[in-house]
Amino acid sequence: MDGIGLFRLFGIFLLLIFVSCEGNIAEPKLSFYHWQSYFDVSVEEYDYLEKLSVERLYVRYFDVDFQGGKVEAIGKILNQNNEYCPKEIIPTIFITNRTFKYLEEKDIRDLSDKIISLIKNKHSDFSNNDFNEIQFDCDWTESTRDKYFSFLKLFKERNKINLSATIRLHQIKFKEKTGIPPVDRFILMCYNTGEVSERNEINSILNPKIVEQYISDISSYPDHLELALPLFSWAVLFRNGKLIKLIRNVDLSTFDKNENYEIIDNKIKVINSTYLNGYYLYGGDELRLESMDEEILKKTIHVLKENNFRPKEIIYYHLDSVIINQFPYEILENINNEFTYH
């Protein structure tokens, strides 16, 4: 074989290696949020996590809010069972935006110290192992950004620990205006894309077309951006045209062949006053059913891939016995596989 032939053969060899490497894109690791008042992972839920090779659970330990003229920790989780628990727990803290609206700059250090103390106290109920990361969930605004970012920076410096922070879609698109939190990892909360209070909304939980409007520049966001996707469903209750309540874990079967309701597509009209999941409904009330399915999630992933976003981790919201019955683990495996396709 002459030199030109060897050169061509070598080129084909390199091309095959490149194609092979491109075809073996690693699947994202799967994790879950645990966002309930009681920690009590059942055998069924644990088996579900095992089948999906889930090693990490993001557990909401408590919320932080400004109430009665002061900042308080509320909704502290109670541990009822740690027998079935993944290998790693990431303490996750939700902080309301108004906390930083009313918090004085001089009180940021005190807030930081109180939060880490309570996290350590709560974590001892769950595990004998130290935590390696803390996640903060806060939908900050331009007016609260500086205090929130100062809090994150101080918290990290004083505790020498990795931090992650949740990011909303608008904070991706308008990052120059909203800023980028001083943390180690970012979690894109890819849900709540619509206006839940708007009566003509179709599905406020997740709409791939709206996602597409916000992520054209996502590849310029700093590295270590991961993805959170929704699995939950709810019924949006309207009374006299106004949003009254979100009733969770409701699907169409709840209303099927029930004389108290009239079903029109995803809209439900209450004919006779009745109870729904312990909540009293009046005749004339209206409900809009919103839920997730495999098709919506796959369309969302397709949009993300088209904009060159391939996360290393997907965190599903959230771990719940009702949800895992609606989403057998094979469905999540199929959704996860979408990220490996070209």
CATH number, domain with residue 125:
3.20.20.80
* 113 and 261 housed in the same domain: no
Q: Clarify whether residues 136 and 70 are in a common domain.
A: yes
Alpha helices (runs of H) in 52-191, residue ranges in sequence order = 97-102, 108-123, 145-159, 169-173, 175-178
For residues 35 and 133, membership in a common domain is answered with yes
Query: Does residue 30 share a domain with residue 171?
Result: yes
Contacts of 275 (CB under 8 A, 6+ apart): 281
pLDDT on residue 3: 54
So what's the pLDDT on residue 16? 46
d(CA 279, CA 298): 33
Q: Do both 199 and 219 map to the same domain? A: yes
Q: How far apart are CA 169 and CA 187, in angstroms?
A: 10
Q: Which residues pair with 194 in a beta bridge?
A: none
- Please give the model's pTM, rounded to 2 decimal places: 0.91
Tell whether 89 and 208 lie within a shared domain: yes
The rounded percent of the chain whose pLDDT value lies above 70 is: 92
What are the Cα distances from residue 263, in Å, to 195, 212, 250, 269, 282?
22, 31, 14, 7, 16
270-284 per-position pLDDT tens digit:
999 999 999 999 999
Over residues 140-170, the pLDDT tens digits come to 999 999 999 999 999 999 999 999 999 999 9
| Contact (Cβ atoms closer than 8 angstroms) between residue 30 and residue 314 | yes
User: Within this chain, do residues 286 and 300 fall inside the same structural domain, yes or no?
Assistant: no
| Dihedral (Cα; 250, 36, 129, 184), 10-degree rounding | 80
Query: What's the confidence (pLDDT) of residue 166?
Result: 98
88 and 98, same domain (yes or no):
yes
Identify which has the larger pLDDT, 243 or 3.
243
| Mean pLDDT within 229-246 | 96
Instruction: State the average pLDDT over residues 181-189.
Output: 98
Supply the pLDDT for residue 265: 86
Cβ(228)–Cβ(164) under 8 Å?
Answer: no
Same domain, 199 and 284: no
Q: In 283-321, which positions are buried (b, 16+ CB within 10 angstroms) versus exposed (e)?
A: eebbbbbbbbeeebbbbbbebbeeeebebebbbbbbbbe
> How many folded domains does the chain comprise?
2
pLDDT > 90? residue 128: no
Q: What pLDDT is stored for residue 6 in this prediction?
A: 52
Instruction: Name 59's bridge partners.
Output: 34, 91
Kindly state whether residues 159 and 223 are assigned to the same domain: yes
Per-residue pLDDT tens for 79-118?
888 788 888 999 999 999 999 999 999 999 999 999 999 9
Q: pLDDT for 313-338, tens place per residue?
A: 999 999 999 999 999 999 999 999 99
CB 332 within 8 A of CB 319: no
Query: Is the confidence at residue 119, as pLDDT, over 80?
Result: yes
Q: Is pLDDT above 60 for 287?
A: yes
DSSP readout, 167-220?
E-HHHHHTHHHH---SSSEEEEE----S-TT-TT-S-SS--HHHHHHH-TTGGG
pLDDT of amino acid 254 = 85
> Out of 74-88, 230-244, 262-276, 306-320, which region has the weakest mean confidence (pLDDT)?
74-88
Both structure tokens of 140: 């900050």
The string of pLDDT tens digits covering residues 55-82 is 999 999 999 999 999 999 999 999 888 7
Same domain for 45 and 129, yes or no, is yes
Which pLDDT does position 251 carry in this prediction? 85
Mean pLDDT of 297-311: 97
Model confidence at 219: pLDDT above 60: yes
Task: Provide the pLDDT for residue 283.
Answer: 97
Range of the domain at 74: 3-232+293-340
Q: Which of 341, 145, 318 is nearest to 233 (CA)?
A: 318
Same domain, 128 and 239: no
Tell me the pLDDT tens digit for each residue of 2-54.
555 554 555 554 444 444 444 557 889 999 999 999 999 999 999 999 999 99
